[in-house]
A and B are shown apart, each in its own frame.
Chain A
Amino acid sequence: MRVGIVGSGVMAEVHAAGWRSTGAELVGCTSAHLEQAARLAERFGFEVYPSYGELLKAVDIVDICVPTHLHKAMVLQAAGAGKHVICEKPIALSVRDGQEMIEACERAGVRFFVAMVVRFFPQYRLARELVTKGQIGKLGVMRLKRVSYPPQKSDDNWYFDEARSGGMVVDLMIHDFDYARWLGGEVERVFARLSRSADGVGRYAQVILRFKSGPMALIEGGWAYPPGVFRTALDLAGTDGLIEWSSDEHGPVRSFVLHRPGEAASVGLPVAGLAEDPYALELQHAYRCIQTGAPFEVSAQDGLEALRLALAARESIATGKPVSL
């Protein structure tokens, strides 16, 4: 099948590399940033399309890697054109928008995959597998960490604009909201606090989730570290055992190089192992399911429920009170 990418930033580049491992035909991209798009096209040997409409005509699947506030209109347009959709997380900025997008794709009979990539990281998958096999008994307290650095943009940093990105709690922490829900099921109560820098940007948040089935979770998220530092960790404690993992632990290969300032990627991405790139695994899975008609392991509804948790956390931050769901 033919695939086109919308966007030319960090995620577009990561996805383009991932698509090369799927067997799909990557025909091109479209972007508001022509120079950036031209560089991407040169690297991956595909075309730059002048508009989203033109790209849609040329593909079977569109992969939307643009700022979050643009997701809804693009997904609706793709559904209207009868094209399958891969969409970067977060699905949207409001639950209602996400619902509309899911319904539009259902009505149009196209597949809609929200790229919740953490579900494709091998350590997170294995940890869940061990939990579901009962290796640590009944889940008690989950601790999930995802603390990175502020996204670096030379102009118009849309990440810092909550109206376009949802802010750090929505953009970054949604991964762990989804993962926690994957393990703990539905959430009963959310309490959260957020520290902002003087410019008003949310930089560091701590969220407590209480699940209907009993467990609790502490989710820590941040755009807080110096550029280049991205730390993730999970700690799952149950009645019969414990699973611990941290990105601080030594990997199979450690490199010691001199870093110059400004060398950090513009947006922090967690590093996985050597062989399996989770972004490639994610796209391989989505592509296989679109081809075969099999259900996705992570549904657009899951993406929406994670957004619901992120928005509840934001509400708790705003009101200073726990939010019941």
Chain B
Amino acid sequence: MGETELSITAALAKLDLSEEEHQRFADEVKKMLSYFDIMAEADGASQSSDTVTMPMRGVDALREDSEHRFCDADTLIDRGPEIEDRYIVIPNVL
């Protein structure tokens, strides 16, 4: 991965990299990507195979579309860093 590619990737990942970090991560990312490249050797054997995104087959991972009442709102609000009445104080938004 080139310098520009790393910068684009960091921006997509919402990470600011210092110059020193940029250099270091460029090396490490490059090393890992060339390690990933060994997967290409198996293309002959795996080209026709399915892809697996989850370990189990045929599981319907969608929840039933039904309403559940969440009754613990106060517990969560109480944990806000700064509270006024039932409002959470947040930093100024310009």
Q: Do A and B come from one complex?
A: no
